Amino acid sequence: MARTAPDCLFCKIVAGEVPAEMVREGERTVAIRDINPQAPTHVLMVPRDHYPDAGAVGRADLGLMDEIAREAHEVAVVEGIAESGYRLVFNTGAGAGQTVFHVHGHLLGGRGLEWPPG
Ligand code: 5GP
Ligand code: ZN
């Protein structure tokens, strides 16, 4: 049984109840284009199962983080940003800017990415 949470936007996107531009569909993850892109490539790596944040995934299903990273790299290759460089970030907690509490990695690339980030 898939883990879902009521009234979760990304659970609804995974279920096809809310439309999104699907970039890649894996067995345990989907990749969707961010509705408000912060870079030429801005794709959200979203596990099908609901976990509120990266900390919760790490405690429950470490392999899922590996899978998100692997899928993100596949998307980066297809998007043409694997060689120029990309960033995969998980905002974890409201204080770090998390607004959707269904874990997702932001895959960003296609422009210079300053470090440290703002
Ligand atoms: P967070 O702030 O939680 O790290 O990231 C949430 C991301 O989800 C934001 O970058 C925001 O633009 C994106 N987002 C919010 N609502 C939607 C939506 O309905 N569809 C898509 N594709 N992205 C969304
Ligand atoms: Zn969810």
Domain annotation covers residue 85: yes
pLDDT at position 118: 77
- Please check the confidence at residue 68 and state whether its pLDDT lies above 90: yes
- Please check the confidence at residue 1 and state whether its pLDDT lies above 80: no
Domain annotation covers residue 7: no
Domain annotation covers residue 74: yes
- Please check the confidence at residue 79 and state whether its pLDDT lies above 90: yes
Quick check: CB of 8 below 6 Å from ligand 1?
A: no
Domain annotation covers residue 6: no
Quick check: CB of 17 below 6 Å from ligand 1?
A: no
For 43-58, what is each residue's pLDDT tens digit?
999 999 999 999 999 8
- Please check the confidence at residue 4 and state whether its pLDDT lies above 90: yes
pLDDT at position 59: 86
Domain annotation covers residue 73: yes
ipTM over 0.95: yes
Domain annotation covers residue 107: no
Place of tokens 């470090």: 115
Which bound ligand lies closest to the C-alpha atom of 10? Answer: 2
Domain annotation covers residue 66: yes
CB environment 12-42: b (16+ within 10 A), e (fewer) = bbbeeeeebeebbebeebbbbebeeeebebb
For the annotated catalytic residues, the residue numbers are: 104
Domain annotation covers residue 40: no
- Please check the confidence at residue 17 and state whether its pLDDT lies above 90: yes
List the domain range (segments joined by +) for residue 79.
Answer: 20-30+49-98+112-118
Ligand 1 center from residue 87 Cα (angstroms): 16
Give the total number of structural domains in the chain: 1
